[in-house]
Chain A
C-alpha cells in the first residue's frame, strides 16, 4: 500500500490572498502530500475555512486546519487554548520562553511544540521539557524552511540544536513531526527530499519517514475523533444513536 505523507505546516502569507494560498496547496499536492495542515488566524471565519476545504478537495488533498499560538505567558496560553481547542484540528504553540514551553508540554490540548528561534537560548527543548511532552503526547515540530533559508554559521548552529533535540525526543519517546514551514511554493520539498534533509541532523531514514507520515496522521486522526459529535470523554464514544439502541 502506498504510504501517505503529510505536511502539517503550510503558512500562506495571508488568508486574504487566495491565489498565494492556492498555489501553495497545489504545489504540496503535486509534490506528493495527501494531508496538509494550513495555519489560519485564530479568528478565521467558517466560510473561509469552507473555501479552503473546497480548494483542497479540488487538488485532491485532505486539509487539517491549524492554529499557531504565540502566548505572552502561561496564563495567556491556557486562555487561548480554551478558546481555540474545539475549533481547530491542530493546535501548535510557539514556545517563546521557558514558562510557556513547560506549560505547553504538559497540557494535553497542545498537539505540537514549536521552537522558532535559531538561537540556542531561544529554544527550550531540554530533558525536562521532553519528559513532560512525552507524558502529554505533544509532538516536537521541526520546520525545514529555516534549514533551507539560513546559511553559514547560523545553519551550522541550527543543525547542532536540531541534532540535540532529535536525540532528546528519541530518548524520551517524544514524537517528532517534520514539516516544511513554507510560506511560498519554492520552499516546499518532496517527502523523499525532506527525509534526505533530515539526515543533516542525524535523523535516521525510518524515523524521518514516520515523522512525515505516521506521526502527523495520528495527530490529525486523534483530534478528528475528539472533535466529532460522537466523542464524549477520553475512551468514551457514542457508537449508536436512536431507537435501535438496546434498552439497558
Chain B
C-alpha cells in the first residue's frame, strides 16, 4: 500500500511550550484523531490508516503517516485542529512526501 508522510508544525497560543508544559505525543495524536473522527467518522478513519510516526516537542513539529488515497481527508482534519489539551493551536502542514527519508531531508534543509 502506498503511503504519505506529512510533516506538521504546531503553533500554540502563547508560543511558549515551556510556560504551560510541553505537549505530549498523546496530546498531539488525540487532537488530530478527534478532528478526523468528527469530520469523517469511524468509517473514514478506518480508510485513512493514520498514525503518528514521530513528534519533536522541542522543535514543535510532528510527522504523520497515512494512506496516499486518504491524503486530502487527513490534510483537512489536520487543518481543522484548533485546540490541543485546552490550549488554542493551529497545525500547519509543511511538507508531504512519499518516503520518510525524503521528508526528513526536506525538514533538515
Residues of A1-59 at the interface with B, using a CB-CB cut-off of 8 Å, are 31
A147 touches B80 (CB 8 A): yes
Interface residues of B in 33-86 (CB under 8 A from A): 38-39, 72-73, 75-76, 78-80, 82
Residues of chain B from 69 to 109 with CB closer than 8 A to chain A in the complex? 72-73, 75-76, 78-80, 82, 88-90, 92-93
Whole-angstrom distance between the alpha carbons of A186 and B9 in the complex? 12
Q: Give CA–CA (A66, B78) in the complex, Å.
A: 30
Task: Kindly state the separation between the CA atoms of A189 and B76 in the bound complex, as whole angstroms.
Answer: 11
| Known contacts A148-B82, A186-B82, A187-B82; A193 and B92 CB within 8 A of each other | yes
Contact string, A172-199, partner B, CB cutoff 8 A, digits 1/0?
Answer: 0000000000001111111011101101
B13 close to A199 (CB less than 8 A): no
Inter-chain residue pair count (beta carbon < 8 A): 45
Chain A residues within 8 Å of B82, by CB:
148-149, 186-187
The verdict on A189 contacting B75 (CB below 8 Å), with A148-B80, A148-B82, A200-B39 known, is: no
Q: Do B79 and A196 touch (CB < 8 A)?
A: yes
Which B residues touch A196, using CB under 8 A?
A: 72, 75-76, 79
The answer for the CA separation of A187 and B13 in the assembled complex, in Å, is 11
Contact B93 A193 (CB under 8 A): yes
Residues of A close to B38: CB separation below 8 A: 151-152, 155
A151 to chain B, nearest CB (A): 7
Once bound together, how far apart are the Cα atoms of A210 and B29, in whole Å? 33
Taken together as a complex, chains A and B put the C-alpha atoms of A185 and B12 apart, in Å, by 10
CB distance from A111 to the nearest CB of B (A): 27
By a beta-carbon cutoff of 8 Å, the part of chain B in contact with chain A is 11, 13, 38-39, 72-73, 75-76, 78-80, 82, 88-90, 92-93
Q: Give the B-binding residues of A (Cβ under 8 A).
A: 31, 147-149, 151-152, 155, 184-190, 192-194, 196-197, 199-200
Ranked 10 nearest A-B pairs via Cβ? A193-B79, A196-B75, A196-B76, A186-B90, A148-B82, A186-B88, A196-B79, A189-B79, A197-B79, A199-B76
